[in-house]
């Protein structure tokens, strides 16, 4: 059986990637195309527990290296339990955040050496590289406002990163853009300030070219 297609959605807080994952999933389902949707952190039962630690305001004291290792633990669990089995079954996998987020947030944002992060990642037997990465790019000030409004509306305790200084989110955005420049074949940058439906159409065109 042919290996499936691995598609990741990346971007800063409030860029709309989760919405685009949902819209893409609905588009695939409407065409009876087998696919799996997952997210990081929280794509597995173990990951759900890790997500609570990583995103809660109550864990603001979490150290950068501890944060990094928890994200990697969540990812390895997700790959083994969800991503790799779905790809091996020939499905399309849509993942809301993946390894590029770790490099952008913990590397560029927190200042952990990127090469150290990559050594751990590539030294594992689990590492998988996406086939397509959609980067929804947005001004951090706009993204943070959007994200905080959404969290308040849903009553979610997941605002630990939103409480970081604007300078942190600017570094994260710069990290994503730097990664996109380094791997232009895999990345497609989408202007997240444009209407949701317009971005959805762009993403569907990208996927259609690969199906």
**3 has a pLDDT exceeding 90:** no
What is the C-alpha end-to-end distance of the chain, expressed in Å?
15
pLDDT confidence of residue 198: 97
Residue 130: CB atoms within 10 Å: 21
Q: Is residue 35 part of a domain?
A: yes
Q: Is residue 1 part of a domain?
A: no
**127 has a pLDDT exceeding 90:** no
pLDDT confidence of residue 101: 98
pLDDT confidence of residue 211: 82
Q: Is residue 186 part of a domain?
A: yes
Among left, alpha and beta (phi > 0; psi -120 to 50; other), residue 90 is: left
pLDDT confidence of residue 66: 97
Residues 75 and 6: their CA atoms lie apart, in Å, by 14
Q: Is residue 102 part of a domain?
A: yes
CATH number at residue 50: 3.40.50.300
Q: Which of 70, 198, 195, 190 minimizes the C-alpha distance to 133?
A: 190
- Provide the number of structural domains found in the chain: 1
pLDDT tens string 4-61: 999 999 999 999 999 999 999 999 999 999 999 999 999 999 999 999 999 998 898 8
Residues 115 and 42: their CA atoms lie apart, in Å, by 25
Q: Is residue 21 part of a domain?
A: yes
Q: Is residue 144 part of a domain?
A: yes
pLDDT-derived band of residue 156, with 50, 70 and 90 as boundaries? Answer: confident
**1 has a pLDDT exceeding 80:** no
Least confident among 15-24, 102-111, 155-164: 155-164
Question: Alpha helix locations (H) across 92-195?
Answer: 99-102, 114-122, 140-154, 166-182
Q: Is residue 170 part of a domain?
A: yes
Residues 118 and 32: their CA atoms lie apart, in Å, by 37
Q: Is residue 104 part of a domain?
A: yes
**123 has a pLDDT exceeding 80:** yes
pLDDT tens string 58-106: 898 899 999 999 999 999 999 999 999 999 999 999 999 999 999 999 9
pLDDT-derived band of residue 207, with 50, 70 and 90 as boundaries? Answer: very high
Q: For residue 198, what are the domain limits?
A: 6-210
Mean pLDDT within 181-210 = 96
pLDDT confidence of residue 93: 98
Mean pLDDT within 179-195 = 97
């Amino acid at each position: 059986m042919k290996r499936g297609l691995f598609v990741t959605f990346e971007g800063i807080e409030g860029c709309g990637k989760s919405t685009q994952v949902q819209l893409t999933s609905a588009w695939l389902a409407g065409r009876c195309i087998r696919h799996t949707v997952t997210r990081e952190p929280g794509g597995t039962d173990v990951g759900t527990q890790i997500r609570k630690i990583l995103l809660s305001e109550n864990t603001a004291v979490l150290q950068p290296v501890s944060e990094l290792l928890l994200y990697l633990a969540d990812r390895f669990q997700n790959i083994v339990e969800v991503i790799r089995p779905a790809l091996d079954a020939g499905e399309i996998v849509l993942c809301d955040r993946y390894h590029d987020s770790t490099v952008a947030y913990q590397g560029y944002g927190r200042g952990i050496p990127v090469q150290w992060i990559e050594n751990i990642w590539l030294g594992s037997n689990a590492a998988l590289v996406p086939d397509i990465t959609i980067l929804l790019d947005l001004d951090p000030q706009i993204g943070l406002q959007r994200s905080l409004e959404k969290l308040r509306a849903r009553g979610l305790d997941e605002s630990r990163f939103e409480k970081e200084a604007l300078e942190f989110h600017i570094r994260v955005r710069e990290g994503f853009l730097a990664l996109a420049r380094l791997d232009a074949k895999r990345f497609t940058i989408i202007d997240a300030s444009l209407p949701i439906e317009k971005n959805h159409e762009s993403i569907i065109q990208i996927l259609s070219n690969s199906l």
